[in-house]
Chain A
């Protein structure tokens, strides 16, 4: 017969419900968390595997029916939307089928591989390596506009906001026993507004370099951009945090992502664009046992080992592995690394 009694905890519960009711009355509208909070990393899929990789060449939202997707996305493990890799030829891929669209990309590539890393020479087979995870993306020439308005004379695009980069490449690589390492850079690039080049992007990209458009602080910003955006995450893709709960780059993290260029634009239409994205997740609790004890093979670049030294994110302008053959054939020799 004790069922009708109200226990102490129930009393607290009742009070809590009342408090909630009061809170709701004084602040009736409270939006729930939007799903997919780790989308900055990419597409995290449900898998029992201990590694995941994700890469895309361009992601633009904000152009409505013309284009609205992660373009040339690769993923490990593969999904119906994302194969293991994309590799385009030298020809320009037109992303502006009706004259107003997104832009053009040539010699694009994106790769995502788990329990393997790429060959160090172009065209070579992937090298099996348990516990390793690798992703990269890039292209020989990327010309993106929001919206893309081609210059009839062939010069700088006339788009209200345009990004042009050549030889862009980013990579993320995580090996057992080591923290994640990133590379990001391009041969050259610029940001333009309506045909005028307003910012030249230097060949060596500083990590997390912020660009305000326009640069003139007396004017309101139309867009904010970050080049070589590097973020460490936990093994589920959530950004790593410091003691105060704010994001903090974790030099020991085994997971994270890099964006070649990430721009957020307010204009006639809200838009957000990412050019060249590579992301990896690796669970060290499971994969660190695969760490290689012996010295690295002489053929492997030191770049893939440099992340063993903890510290701030490094600026590197070349990928540790060769891009796919088709892409490499169309790319300029931006460094001696390939």
Chain B
């Protein structure tokens, strides 16, 4: 009777051995049950949809690891993303063609909790794949995106630009008096939105005043730059757009067409850690209202911006 346990143990051992060997022996065509993704960080990924059914549960994989700081809870994540439907292969939306990275708040209220799994604890510069049921793939608490049926599955590829404190700034509080055609700027406390006042005559050309000189990496054309900013129509107090009144820093592609008028020339060659005051005339880009990525401003209006350069990353 003592032989039987031995036989069973042998059977179990063989089963374990088989389990270890089979995947490496090429017996499984879909060991990871995920699509094949190619392309470099910062470029729109090429996604080859598999012919087999999607996984029932959300799945995530780091495709390539970056070398930047690790993202953590409490930060907002600036990222590029490409979204597709597994079943049809149909591309949904992506930030690459928009040339407008997006900011995700990982509080379970803005995007699905599955985004937490993909974006938290990642090194900036990483490319991450997420496969998820559509009801868990985009909106909060399981809201499938518009034009997607609730039973579809989504394939999302993220290029994590970085995680940032929602109140991140390039410089501390301070007051910078008006002069030389620039309005005054006051930042009451750390993280507070800059207040512009004492406007003089409208600017006739784009001009930049460096309020704080950064010592970080240089911002180069074609790269991604992460900004905390506020913008006001010339002479007005209420901002027409501001990252301080939304979720925190936004990412932008360093191309003139992907930014508000005056930004590219103001930022080109500046260093991370800089705080810039930018005055832009009303004819800087006649007829302009918004970029492809919906970064907008009142048409043909002179404006002033305070740009805090938080980070930059190549694309």
Residue numbers of A with Cβ under 8 A of B are 4-8, 10-12, 14-15, 18-19, 22, 26-27, 29-40, 61-64, 66, 68, 98-100, 147, 149, 152, 158-161, 193-196, 210, 219-226, 229, 231, 239, 241, 245-247, 262-272, 274
A130 to B98, alpha carbons, bound, how many Å?
A: 52
> A31 contacts B58, CB within 8 Å?
yes
Select one of B11, B87, B104 contacting A270, CB under 8 A.
B104
User: Are B61 and A27 in contact, CB atoms less than 8 angstroms apart?
Assistant: yes
Q: Does B238 contact A (CB under 8 A)?
A: yes
Contact call A158/B146, Cβ cutoff below 8 A: no
Q: B33-70 interface mask toward A, CB cutoff 8 Å, 1 = contact, 0 = none?
A: 01000000000000000000000011111100000000
> Which residues of chain B are within 8 angstroms of A193 by Cβ–Cβ distance?
289-290, 294, 296
B residues engaging A (CB < 8 A)?
4-5, 8-9, 11-12, 15-16, 18-20, 23, 31-32, 34, 57-62, 81, 83, 87, 92-98, 100, 102-105, 109-114, 117-118, 130, 132-133, 135-136, 138-147, 149-152, 166, 238-243, 245-248, 250, 289-290, 292-299
Q: Are B295 and A11 in contact (CB under 8 A)?
A: no
Interchain CB contact under 8 A, B58 and A33: yes
Task: Please name all residues of chain B whose beta carbon is closer than 8 Å to the beta carbon of A18 when the two chains form the complex.
Answer: 15-16, 19-20
Assess A267 versus B152: contact at CB under 8 Å? Given A36-B141, A193-B290. Answer: no
Q: With both chains docked as a complex, state the minimum distance between the C-beta of A210 and any C-beta of chain B, in angstroms.
A: 5
Select which of B97, B103, B239 is within 8 A of A100 by beta carbon. B239
Do B98 and A220 have beta carbons less than 8 Å apart? yes
- How far is B94's CA from A29's CA once the two chains are assembled, in angstroms? 24
Contacts of B61 in A (CB 8 A): 27, 29
Residues of A within 8 A of B113 (CB): 34-35
26 pairs, A vs B, C-beta closer than 8 Å = A7-B8, A11-B12, A22-B19, A27-B34, A29-B59, A30-B59, A31-B114, A32-B57, A37-B133, A38-B135, A39-B142, A40-B143, A61-B139, A68-B110, A152-B298, A158-B240, A158-B296, A219-B292, A222-B292, A246-B149, A247-B149, A247-B152, A264-B145, A266-B95, A266-B102, A269-B247
3 closest Cβ pairs, A-B complex: A220-B97, A15-B15, A160-B294
Complex CA distance for A219 and B290, rounded to whole angstroms: 14
Minimal beta-carbon separation of A270 from chain B (angstroms)? 5
Q: Are B142 and A6 in contact (CB under 8 A)?
A: no
Q: Which B residues are CB-close (under 8 A) to A26?
A: 23, 31-32
Q: Which residues of B contact A100 (CB under 8 A)?
A: 239-242, 245-246
Contact A14 B97 (CB under 8 A): no
Whose C-beta in chain B lies nearest to the C-beta of A274?
B143
List the B side residues contacting A40 at CB < 8 Å.
135, 142-144, 150
Contact B296 A5 (CB under 8 A): no
Chain A hits for B144, CB < 8 A: 40
Q: How far is the CA of A21 from the CA of B273 in the complex (A)?
A: 46
